[in-house]
Amino acid sequence: MVGSSEAIEKLAGAIGENVYMDVAKWHLYLRDAHLHTALAEQLYPLLSKGSVLEDQVLDILKGISIKLGGGKREVPLSDLLPMQSQVHLMDVIEEFQHDL
């Protein structure tokens, strides 16, 4: 369990540094939004089982709701990540898989 906790922390760090949401042309990195660990916790079980497909990652991103306007509206994280950020996420996942 300690190994998986450390692995999740490492994955979360890489996600937090490389993946951002685009809000009104501002890049809000997932570490600053405190979303990097939650995303890593959902991705890690897939990574530990083997290769991860882009569709699986998109399903996870769609399942994470981001509250806007004090909770007046919820938007899936997938809608807030520009294509370049999704590419960065897939790159992080690919690198992490090679390190496993």
Of the candidates 68, 77, 71, 67, the residue with the CA atom closest to the CA atom of residue 40:
77
Model confidence pTM above 0.85: yes
Count of structural domains within the chain: 1
Where in the sequence is the domain holding 51, given as residue range(s)?
A: 2-99
Q: What's the confidence (pLDDT) of residue 65? A: 96
Per-residue pLDDT of the chain (100 residues; tens, 9 = 90+): 456 899 999 999 999 999 999 999 999 999 999 999 999 999 999 998 887 899 999 999 999 999 999 999 999 999 999 999 999 999 999 999 888 7
Query: Between vectors from CA 55 to CA 63 and to CA 91, what angle results, nearest 5°?
Result: 100
